[in-house]
Amino acid sequence: MAEERKTFLLRVDPAVWRDIEKWAADELRSANGQIEFILREALRRRLGQQGAGGPPAGGAGGTGAPPGSP
Protein backbone atom coordinates (compact mmCIF):
# COMPACT_ATOMS: atom_id res chain seq x y z
CA MET A 1 0.00 0.00 0.00
CA ALA A 2 1.33 3.44 -0.95
CA GLU A 3 2.22 5.89 1.78
CA GLU A 4 -0.44 8.56 2.31
CA ARG A 5 0.59 12.10 1.40
CA LYS A 6 0.94 14.59 4.25
CA THR A 7 -1.57 17.44 4.33
CA PHE A 8 -0.77 20.73 6.09
CA LEU A 9 -1.86 24.35 6.17
CA LEU A 10 0.51 26.94 4.70
CA ARG A 11 0.09 30.65 5.28
CA VAL A 12 1.80 32.71 2.62
CA ASP A 13 1.89 36.36 1.61
CA PRO A 14 -0.64 37.02 -1.20
CA ALA A 15 2.09 38.45 -3.48
CA VAL A 16 4.19 35.30 -3.02
CA TRP A 17 1.13 33.14 -3.76
CA ARG A 18 0.44 35.06 -6.99
CA ASP A 19 4.06 34.55 -8.06
CA ILE A 20 3.87 30.81 -7.28
CA GLU A 21 0.62 30.47 -9.25
CA LYS A 22 2.12 32.30 -12.25
CA TRP A 23 5.32 30.23 -12.10
CA ALA A 24 3.25 27.05 -11.82
CA ALA A 25 1.12 28.00 -14.82
CA ASP A 26 4.25 28.76 -16.85
CA GLU A 27 5.51 25.22 -16.12
CA LEU A 28 2.11 23.51 -16.50
CA ARG A 29 1.85 22.56 -12.82
CA SER A 30 -0.69 23.21 -10.09
CA ALA A 31 0.33 25.62 -7.35
CA ASN A 32 0.60 22.64 -5.00
CA GLY A 33 2.80 20.80 -7.51
CA GLN A 34 4.97 23.89 -7.88
CA ILE A 35 5.46 24.20 -4.13
CA GLU A 36 6.39 20.51 -3.96
CA PHE A 37 8.84 21.01 -6.84
CA ILE A 38 10.43 24.03 -5.13
CA LEU A 39 10.78 22.11 -1.86
CA ARG A 40 12.27 19.04 -3.60
CA GLU A 41 14.78 21.19 -5.46
CA ALA A 42 15.78 23.00 -2.26
CA LEU A 43 16.19 19.67 -0.45
CA ARG A 44 18.13 18.18 -3.36
CA ARG A 45 20.54 21.11 -3.25
CA ARG A 46 20.79 20.99 0.53
CA LEU A 47 21.24 17.22 0.75
CA GLY A 48 23.17 16.79 -2.49
CA GLN A 49 22.36 14.23 -5.15
CA GLN A 50 21.54 11.56 -2.54
CA GLY A 51 17.91 12.66 -2.81
CA ALA A 52 15.24 14.23 -0.70
CA GLY A 53 12.80 11.33 -0.49
CA GLY A 54 9.69 10.72 -2.51
CA PRO A 55 9.55 10.32 -6.27
CA PRO A 56 12.22 11.95 -8.45
CA ALA A 57 11.55 15.48 -9.70
CA GLY A 58 10.23 14.08 -12.98
CA GLY A 59 8.10 11.48 -11.21
CA ALA A 60 4.37 10.99 -10.85
CA GLY A 61 2.02 13.68 -9.71
CA GLY A 62 3.09 16.34 -12.19
CA THR A 63 5.67 17.79 -9.82
CA GLY A 64 8.62 17.38 -12.17
CA ALA A 65 9.95 19.81 -14.68
CA PRO A 66 8.43 19.73 -18.16
CA PRO A 67 10.43 18.07 -20.93
CA GLY A 68 13.37 20.15 -22.06
CA SER A 69 13.71 22.03 -18.76
CA PRO A 70 17.14 22.25 -17.10
Please check whether residue 31 lies inside any domain of the structure: yes
Question: pTM for the full model?
Answer: 0.64
DSSP H helix total and E strand total for the chain: 2, 0
User: How many structural domains compose the chain?
Assistant: 1
For residue 22, being part of any structural domain is answered with yes
pLDDT value of position 53: 65
**pLDDT tens track for 4-52:** 989 999 999 999 999 999 999 999 999 999 999 999 999 999 998 665 5
> What integer is the mean pLDDT of 45-70?
58
- Side-chain half-sphere exposure of 48, counting CA atoms within 13 A: 1
Give the domain extent around 29.
15-46
